[in-house]
Chains A and B, each alone.
Chain A
């Protein structure tokens, strides 16, 4: 087996070992953060029914702070990372692009970064004031 073949055959080789590990760790962390947020989100939205329209609007008014809009953007970042790394995992499961798995990873990250910058541009006026 040539060096090139060995590199593509062994996913856990060389520099990729580090990046692949961090991709996995970040996937887990973003997943756990999003699980927590899901239940916070359910609670917040349900206040429209629990406490009525005014209590939901009070909460929205409370959230209207630069720091909280920034944290909201970080949630969008977590969703985009988790989604695009998930796309990569599903593609690998289907056997698509395994030989070019590193390129697939970076293309997915590029898509996530481009989408995030679109959301960041929109949110910037609410974060920077």
Chain B
């Protein structure tokens, strides 16, 4: 079959990115629901610097948000990579440069996000 999941998902992007996207999807669903229920449901209308600090002080929310940050940055950039590969950036040289750029952006984003969160920790 020309349009099986085999050709659409697995072979073009690689098996590890495919698996990584599934694993991070599960992590993101769990942690983003905690994140959304806290910020958009329980504490809606109370958003402030101090309110965020109070929420993160327990530690559990901080761990939740860091797991979410790491998983969602991977999931977002890997998803973007899938879209761009579908558009046809398939020459091996361009692909390799693109992968390196995505890894750099991802690592920098995670470091930046944790750095930003640490104002409430220290």
**Cβ-based interface call for B120 (8 A):** yes
Residues in A with CB closer than 8 Å to B116 are 42, 45-46, 48-50
Residues in B with CB closer than 8 Å to A32 are 80, 83
- Chain B: number of interface residues, binned into ranges: 20 to 34
**Cβ-based interface call for B16 (8 A):** no
**Cβ-based interface call for A7 (8 A):** no
**Cβ-based interface call for B76 (8 A):** yes
**Cβ-based interface call for B98 (8 A):** no
Query: How many A-B contacts if CB must be within 8 Å?
Result: 72
**Cβ-based interface call for A56 (8 A):** yes
A interface vs B, CB < 8 Å? 12, 28, 31-32, 34-35, 38-39, 42, 45-46, 48-50, 53, 56-57, 60, 72, 76, 79, 83, 86-87, 90, 92-93, 118-119, 122-123, 126
By beta carbon, the residue of chain A nearest B28 is A83
23 contacts between A and B (CB under 8 A): A28-B83, A31-B76, A31-B79, A31-B83, A38-B73, A42-B109, A45-B117, A46-B112, A48-B119, A48-B120, A49-B116, A50-B116, A57-B48, A76-B36, A79-B36, A83-B29, A83-B32, A90-B22, A92-B5, A118-B41, A122-B40, A123-B44, A126-B44
